[in-house]
């Protein structure tokens, strides 16, 4: 919002139109404005069948930090498909461009080769990785890469998720 202060208007040069004076005042206000906050990209790893719960997570996370952008690379291509090499390359670029990685673990996430590969790729790039349980099941089967790297599987706890996102999304 631009406030017009009488002293600024009256100190304008003689002969300048009202519109020019207002434009100059607007320019000064714009110069004073703070820079835009940077967007933070979050790469999501999940099984396509869990998409509804993934959307719930994204909605909750956007409430926590509206500057988060989610990279959802839902794959319907088989891991050993002839285009898989190209798909892996594209995924790697998106992981590289991300601030953090969130693995959303559902009932069948453990048996997806893409999920396991994306986790390993994220860890190779030294990305902060958060693994989140999508169901109330206290002991869902974890993807091998999470188990091997001893990454804790977090419960669906809004407060804990909020703290982790705020702490790590800015990195």
Q: If pLDDT is split at 50, 70 and 90, which confidence band does 10 have? A: very low
- Find the distance separating the first CA and the last CA of the chain, reported in whole Å: 31
The pTM (predicted TM-score) of the whole model is: 0.71
Domain positions in the chain: 1-33, 40-168
Most confident listed range (8-22, 68-82, 98-112): 98-112
C-alpha distances (whole Å) from 49 to each of 63, 106, 157 are 24, 9, 21
pLDDT, tens digit, 9 for 90 and up, residues 121-166: 999 999 999 998 887 666 678 899 999 999 988 887 778 777 777 7
CATH superfamily label, 40-168: P-loop containing nucleotide triphosphate hydrolases (3.40.50.300)
Q: If pLDDT is split at 50, 70 and 90, which confidence band does 118 have? A: very high
Give the helix/strand (H/E) hosting 128: strand 128-133
Place of tokens 């670029």: 93
């Amino acid at each position: 919002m631009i406030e017009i202060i009488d002293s600024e208007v009256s100190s304008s040069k003689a002969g300048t139109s009202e519109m020019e004076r207002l434009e100059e005042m607007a320019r000064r206000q714009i110069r004073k404005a703070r820079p835009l906050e940077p967007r933070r990209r979050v790469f999501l790893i999940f099984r396509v069948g869990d998409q509804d719960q993934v959307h719930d997570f994204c909605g909750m996370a956007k409430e926590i930090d509206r500057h988060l952008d989610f990279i959802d690379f839902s794959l319907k291509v088989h891991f050993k498909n002839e285009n898989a090499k190209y798909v892996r390359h594209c995924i790697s670029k998106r992981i590289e461009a991300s601030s953090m990685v969130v693995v959303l673990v559902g009932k069948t996430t453990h048996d997806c080769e893409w999920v396991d590969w994306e986790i390993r790729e994220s860890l190779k790039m030294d990305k902060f990785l958060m693994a989140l349980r999508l169901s109330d099941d206290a002991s869902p089967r974890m993807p091998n890469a999470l188990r091997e790297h001893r990454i804790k599987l977090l419960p669906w706890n809004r407060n804990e998720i909020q703290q982790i996102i705020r702490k790590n999304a800015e990195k």
